[in-house]
């Protein structure tokens, strides 16, 4: 037989694209359209319904960036169309090939009920089936003219990322608003041909099935009447049925299809637009559920449900009904799909607590898994936290984006830092916006790395980010692929069902231990530093407010614990931990609003804390310690003078309750407090740090606190990525404008270094040493005006450290300092929380920070044979896409060097730097709510139980990485205690001994105790 593949394939493609697709709508009549441009921000339906509309013609430009245009569309179904499937078809002037992130609309009936959305690949609105002759159509359509930020492929900065800079030039040209007959035979033929053609092109050139499909399609094109596509469609479909009816091989891979619409809670649009995106997509989804009884849609992010509940009650009611039918599956169990690295430990716990509670309260459903497809790496604390919240499985996809190393598994057990394991899956289809194309199905089978051990994978399908979610075309593809020779089999089902089957067939799946590090998007640890600082400080202010509110509730008659306010503030912070807000990868509008929200949160939490402390009574000046460790340190009083205090963990004490230790001396540029001696060089770097407790050991191998300015232009994704070549071009900031002693007191000494550099940028650093502490603080004030630059602060330490330890949620992880393998070399930029620690046997050093997450650790061997291990903190970047002004302006933060530090020291000083002692007027000295006898048992949270029972809830963890035993004691009469899950539900009774609760923890174990007051 002659090889005619090229002729047939090209013929099929042309007839499909140019004749069949264009015949899907058999007849059309235009709708009458009027328009009203809403001024400013979006308006409620009632206001739009009462507005004055003007005639609007097709082909007219509309929609300034971030604007809202309401269209009134009216018409009548022709009486002769009775019995046909009739739809409204609306093309707002969609651009490019991006199915979301541009113009979108929500169609309402005149009584305000949302009907369905209109999106680039989902342009229809059902009218009737069968249509009633003469039916009147009257719609109010809310259309959003959101700019397509991705239009230039992120190649250059754009002013469109903020309503303040975007201008008012119309973005779109309205193309179509018709009433149309959907020719169902042609529509189904279109899908038949798509599925067969795509399958054919993925099969091998010598596969008989490929040739069978090719010749069937060729014969079908012979049967197609080009002058009467509609009239011949049914017979063409009949000819193709044998090719579509052949069953899949018995060993065919099984793809569990789960409807999905990944909607970023903010990204290339502000939060206010996400509220509307969810209403549009969820309207589409509930409409699709009515058409396809087998349809199942998985949806995470309780915050998005709450927005719909509060703003779109009709859509909310439809969601509730779909959940009851089993077609809508709440998943994920988190408040939002948070960043996987940066939220603090308690914040990550609250993500799970608030998310799971929402689904239990509103749907009676306890979600079973963590659904987090699109975060930028995943902390090794996740397995334990997920299981403590009652989850059984974990899903993500993003690790497939690794630049260097291919992750070796798709289905596996993921083991966290404490030994907890959770069953985990990465969809080999390699997307969370699948559409069941032939290429996607072949890719899923080709990629799947569990062949021979397991047979099934999961595929989330549907258009995200404003694309409207799953479509009827995708559902039709799934039906055709349910059992089709040459393809994987598709089963549309609940993700819980997939995970149950996957675990049953593959119980001995391989184990991956430790973090899931994404070898990409490493700059998300640093970009938009003010957003990250707002998060860090909010987390610690929430801890402070909860502790002192609990103290006041226990000891101050008449004080009411602020349950509702704390709940609301927590949810605000959790929202901004979304994986495109906290990482710094959103447009300018998002980060401008985030900074304003963090300022508001800070003010409210300051007021709550002040109210709680004031409730304890007035009568003297006291110091309040929110840290879980006893503290003896220099503070500043309300008047600004230095003072010294010893304060118990979680408690308070008067100022100057102890004699100050050896005083600080200042001699030239040398600070000395009897513990360490610090010499500042003429160029403002740290020339020497001597640890006097270790016999005068020199800590540094070279200039300390070396500020290095790197050129920073990644290959792509400016705000997300820092590529390895950034290291190759840099300038060391060694020209100091001034080096001045600014404080010389027995309790503290300080030297200020001022520098100017670059495009008008300035850095002022105050290097401070306090009596009684070896910690050296670098209080930093930067006025930053650079572009495409990356600023690091380096500490080259004379230590041969085989690995670094970085704090993560409820513990720490160790990473090698060598680069023996490509896996280690790929970790050239990593994340951590409050501290990084390096050590050799007998001696260690910690670098501590109050708002920095990114860092790198490397080591070199010197000419003298010694080893230098260098820790560098990533301070600030200057990406220009998607926010051209990212990080510009003022930054204020502190980082510290802690010589002679153990892991215990790093943990304690990390808390201390992030939880400054509070000086306030208060009378009594109530005992701390809780205290712990024993080393390594660290109190992470103290609060009243969320059920408002008055019980006290305490979250503890083992912080050193070893076993720990201790006794938890309370500052109130204790009647009983229970160990609970994260949601404060009892797991077992806890023993009481001598009025305390004995605690025994394995390495990094988290325990939540619920304490009943006597």
Residues belonging to the active site: 374
Number of Cβ within 10 Å of residue 326's Cβ equals 11
* Helix, strand or coil, per DSSP, at residue 11: helix
The residue among 887, 882, 888, 886 whose CA lies nearest residue 166 is 882
| 3-state SS class at 706 | strand
CB 854 within 8 A of CB 526: yes
Write out 757-791 in H/E/C secondary structure: ECCCEEEEEEEEEECCCCCEEEEEEEEECCCCEEE
- DSSP letter for each residue of 389-444: TT--EEE--GGGG-SS---S-SEEEEE-TTS-EEEEE--TT--SSB---HHHHHHH
Alpha-helix runs per DSSP H in 292-340: 302-311, 313-325
**Cis before 939? omega within 30:** no
Rounded to an integer, what distance in angstroms lies between the CA atom of residue 593 and that of residue 655? 39
Tokens of 450: 């569990």
Alpha carbons within 13 angstroms on the beta-carbon side of residue 10 total 4
What is the DSSP pairing of strand 686-691 with strand 676-680? antiparallel
Residues recorded for the chain: 1014
3-state secondary structure of 249: coil
The Cα 467–Cα 121 span in angstroms is 7
Please, what sign has the CA dihedral across residues 58, 59, 60, 65? positive
Dist. CA 710–CA 716, nearest whole Å: 17
806: helix, strand or coil: strand
CA–CA distance, 904 with 898 (Å, rounded to integer):
12
C-alpha 207/C-alpha 310 separation (Å) is 55
Q: CB-side exposure of 684: number of CA atoms within 13 Å? A: 23
Determine the Cα–Cα distance for residues 687 and 896; give it in Å rounded to an integer. Answer: 16
Q: Which two tokens mark 270?
A: 């502000």
In DSSP notation, 894-963 reads: EEEEEET--HHHHHHHHHHHHSPPEEEE----PPPSEEEESSSEEEEEEEE-TTSS--EEEEEEE-SSS-
Cα dist. 266→38, 334, 374, 577, 715 in Å? 22, 16, 13, 10, 24
> Nearest CA to 97 among 474, 467, 429, 476?
467
Rounded CA gap, 211 and 2, in Å?
12
Q: Which residue's structure tokens are 């898994």?
A: 369
* Residue 151 three-state SS: helix
For Cα atoms 500, 501, 503, give the angle at the middle one, nearest 5 degrees.
65
Helix (H, G, I), strand (E, B) or coil at 745: strand
Tokens describing residue 322: 């779909």
**Per-position b or e across 544-573, b if 16+ CB within 10 A of its CB:** bbbbbbbbbbbbbeebebbeeebeebbbeb
For residues 456 and 448, is the Cβ–Cβ distance under 8 A? no
């Amino acid at each position: 037989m002659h090889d005619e593949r090229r002729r047939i394939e090209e013929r099929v493609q042309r007839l499909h694209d140019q004749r069949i697709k264009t015949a899907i709508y058999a007849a059309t009549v235009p709708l009458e359209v009027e328009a009203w441009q809403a001024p400013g921000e979006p308006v409620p339906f009632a206001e739009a319904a009462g507005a004055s509309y003007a005639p609007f013609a097709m082909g007219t430009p509309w929609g300034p960036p971030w604007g809202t245009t309401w269209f009134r569309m009216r018409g009548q179904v022709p009486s002769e169309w009775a019995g046909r499937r009739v739809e409204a078809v609306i093309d707002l002037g969609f651009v490019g090939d991006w199915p979301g992130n541009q113009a979108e609309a929500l169609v309402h009936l005149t009584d305000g009920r949302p009907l369905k959305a209109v999106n680039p690949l989902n342009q229809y609105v059902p009218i009737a089936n069968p249509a009633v002759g003469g039916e009147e159509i009257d719609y109010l359509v809310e259309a959003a003219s959101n700019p397509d930020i991705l239009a230039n492929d992120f190649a250059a900065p754009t002013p469109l990322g903020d309503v303040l800079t975007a201008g008012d030039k119309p973005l779109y040209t309205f193309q179509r608003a018709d009433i149309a007959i959907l020719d169902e035979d042609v529509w189904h033929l279109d899908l038949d041909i798509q599925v067969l053609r795509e399958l054919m092109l993925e099969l091998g050139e010598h596969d008989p099935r490929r040739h069978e499909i090719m010749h069937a399609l060729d014969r079908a094109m012979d049967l197609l009447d080009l002058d009467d596509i509609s009239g011949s469609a049914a017979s063409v479909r009949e000819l193709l049925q044998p090719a579509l009816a052949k069953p899949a091989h018995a060993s065919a891979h099984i793809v569990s299809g789960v409807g999905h619409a990944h909607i970023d809670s903010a990204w290339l649009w502000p939060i206010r637009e996400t509220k509307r995106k969810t209403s549009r997509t969820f309207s589409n989804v509930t409409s699709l559920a009515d058409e396809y009884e087998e349809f199942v849609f998985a949806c995470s992010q309780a915050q998005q449900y709450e927005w719909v509940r509060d703003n779109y009650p009709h859509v909310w009611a439809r969601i509730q009904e779909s959940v009851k039918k089993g077609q809508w599956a709440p998943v994920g169990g988190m408040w939002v799909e948070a960043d996987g690295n940066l939220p603090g430990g308690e914040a990550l716990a609250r993500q799970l607590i608030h998310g799971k509670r929402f689904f239990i309260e509103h749907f009676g459903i306890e979600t079973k898994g963590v659904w987090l497809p699109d975060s930028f790496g995943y902390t090794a604390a996740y397995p334990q936290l997920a299981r403590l919240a009652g989850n059984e499985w974990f899903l993500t996809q993003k690790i497939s984006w690794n630049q260097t190393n291919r992750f070796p598994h798709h289905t596996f057990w993921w083991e966290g830092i404490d030994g907890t394991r959770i069953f985990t899956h990465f969809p080999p289809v390699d997307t969370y916006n699948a559409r069941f194309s032939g290429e996607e199905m072949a890719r899923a089978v080709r990629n799947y790395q569990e062949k021979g051990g397991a047979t099934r994978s999961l595929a989330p399908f549907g258009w995200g980010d404003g694309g409207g979610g799953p479509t009827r075309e995708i559902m039709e593809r799934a039906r055709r692929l349910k059992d089709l020779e040459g393809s994987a089999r598709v089963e549309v089902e609940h993700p819980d069902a997939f995970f149950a089957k996957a675990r049953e067939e593959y119980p001995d799946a391989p184990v991956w231990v430790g973090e899931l590090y994404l070898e990409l998007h490493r700059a998300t640890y640093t970009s938009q530093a003010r957003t990250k600082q707002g998060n860090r400080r909010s987390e610690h202010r929430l801890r402070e407010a909860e502790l002192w509110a609990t103290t006041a509730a226990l000891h101050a008659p008449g004080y009411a614990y602020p349950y509702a306010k704390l709940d609301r503030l927590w949810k605000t912070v959790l929202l901004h931990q979304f994986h495109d807000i906290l990482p710094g990868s959103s447009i300018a509008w998002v980060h401008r609003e985030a900074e304003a929200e963090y300022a508001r949160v800070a003010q409210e939490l300051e007021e709550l804390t002040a109210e709680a402390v004031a409730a304890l009574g007035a009568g003297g000046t006291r110091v309040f310690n929110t840290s879980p460790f006893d503290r003896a340190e220099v503070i500043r009083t309300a008047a600004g003078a230095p003072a010294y205090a010893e304060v118990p963990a979680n408690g308070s004490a008067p100022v100057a309750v102890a004699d100050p230790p050896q005083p600080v001396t200042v001699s030239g540029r040398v600070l000395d407090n009897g513990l360490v001696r610090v010499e500042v060089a003429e160029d403002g770097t740290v020339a020497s740090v001597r640890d006097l407790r270790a016999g005068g050991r020199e800590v540094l191998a070279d200039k300390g606190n070396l500020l290095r300015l790197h050129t920073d232009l990644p290959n792509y994704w400016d705000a997300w990525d820092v590529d390895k070549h950034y290291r190759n071009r840099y300038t060391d900031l060694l020209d100091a404008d001034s080096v001045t002693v600014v404080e010389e007191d027995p309790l503290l000494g300080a030297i200020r270094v001022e520098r100017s550099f670059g495009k008008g940028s300035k850095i002022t650093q105050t290097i401070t040493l306090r009596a009684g502490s070896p910690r050296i603080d670098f209080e930093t004030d930067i006025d930053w005006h650079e572009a495409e630059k990356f600023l690091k602060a380096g500490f080259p330490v004379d230590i041969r450290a085989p690995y670094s330890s970085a704090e993560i949620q409820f513990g720490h992880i160790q990473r090698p300092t060598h680069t023996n393998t490509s896996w280690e070399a790929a970790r050239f930029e990593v994340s951590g929380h409050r501290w990084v620690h390096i050590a050799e046997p007998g001696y260690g050093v910690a670098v501590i920070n109050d708002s920095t997450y990114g860092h790198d650790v490397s080591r070199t061997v010197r000419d003298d044979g010694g080893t230098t291990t260098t820790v560098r903190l990533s301070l600030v970047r200057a990406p220009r896409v998607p926010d051209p002004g990212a990080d510009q302006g003022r930054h204020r933060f502190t980082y510290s060097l802690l010589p002679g530090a153990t892991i215990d020291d790093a943990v304690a000083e990390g808390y201390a730097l992030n939880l400054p002692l509070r000086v306030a007027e208060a009378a009594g000295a109530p005992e701390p709510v809780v205290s712990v006898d024993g080393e390594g048992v660290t109190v992470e949270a103290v609060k009243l139980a969320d059920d408002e029972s008055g019980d006290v809830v305490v979250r503890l963890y083992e912080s050193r990485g070893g076993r720990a035993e201790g006794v938890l004691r309370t500052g109130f009469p204790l009647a009983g205690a229970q160990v609970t899950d994260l949601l404060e539900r009892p797991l077992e009774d806890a023993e009481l001994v001598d009025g305390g609760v004995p605690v025994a923890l394995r390495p990094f174990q988290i325990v939540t105790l619920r304490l009943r007051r006597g």
